[in-house]
A and B are shown apart, each in its own frame.
Chain A
Amino acid sequence: AQKITQTQPGMFVQEKEAVTLDCTYDTSDPSYGLFWYKQPSSGEMIFLIYQGSYDQQNATEGRYSLNFQKARKSANLVISASQLGDSAMYFCAMSRYNFNKFYFGSGTKLNVKP
């Protein structure tokens, strides 16, 4: 079975600073994908970034980067230059390669302070 663990229920970061949100996963499958989503208070889930298990390079999307350490089974999200609009819940998720079934972590609530 797949399992995602996010150990930080809540975090604070100063505006314009970088922040790392932790995510560890457990799977016995060699082929899988890791995803990060942002959920503002409005409720809609917004896709941020994707990392495939065979990707050699860490994924980056604008201010978001994914620090993928396969041996440690971790997929931490790094947000650079935090903005007030980054305040939201952040979810890490994974899916096996040929199964469109996402397992989500419990989320981290990020608060960006001005």
Chain B
Amino acid sequence: KAGVTQTPRYLIKTRGQQVTLSCSPISGHRSVSWYQQTPGQGLQFLFEYFSETQRNKGNFPGRFSGRQFSNSRSEMNVSTLELGDSALYLCASSLGESLHEQFFGPGTRLTVL
């Protein structure tokens, strides 16, 4: 069974631009979560989508948004990029019902110049 895939793996953007990251979950998984990892703040939860609906949300500004498609693939968008948005963005998928381990993708490393 294929794992979680994320594209692109690396991105370089400049301040003010916007970016879209993509995540394909493990087949059969209906939940996709997004995390931001930085050296200073560690791993922080952004949001979770389940069956195309945002089910949980972290404490990030509205510049961070996401969506999930009917095939469970998810995209995350960051608008008006700031230097502080430079981070490793990790996507995780799980079955979604009750509580299950999350399986992570390799991440997208975003650098904002």
User: What residues of chain A have their CB less than 8 Å away from a CB belonging to chain B?
Assistant: 32-33, 35, 37, 42-47, 50, 52, 91, 93, 95-107
Contact = CB atoms under 8 A, between A and B. Distances in A.
Nearest to B9: A43
A96 B92 CA distance: 17
Contacts of A103: 45
Band of interface residues on B: 20 to 34
Contact of A44 (B33, B94, B101, B104): B104
A13 B98 CA distance: 36
A47 B99 contact: no
Contact of B43 (A50, A97, A100, A104): A104
A45 B33 contact: no
A82 B40 CA distance: 29
Contacts of B88: 43
18 contacts: A43-B88, A43-B106, A45-B92, A46-B104, A47-B104, A97-B98, A97-B99, A99-B56, A100-B31, A100-B33, A100-B50, A100-B55, A100-B56, A100-B94, A100-B102, A101-B48, A106-B42, A107-B42
A95 to B, nearest CB: 6
Given A42-B106, A43-B107, A107-B42, A100 B90 contact: no
> Main secondary structure on chain B at its contact with chain A?
strand
Interface in B79-113: 88, 90, 92, 94, 96, 98-107, 109
B43 A91 contact: yes
Given A45-B90, A52-B99, A101 B105 contact: no
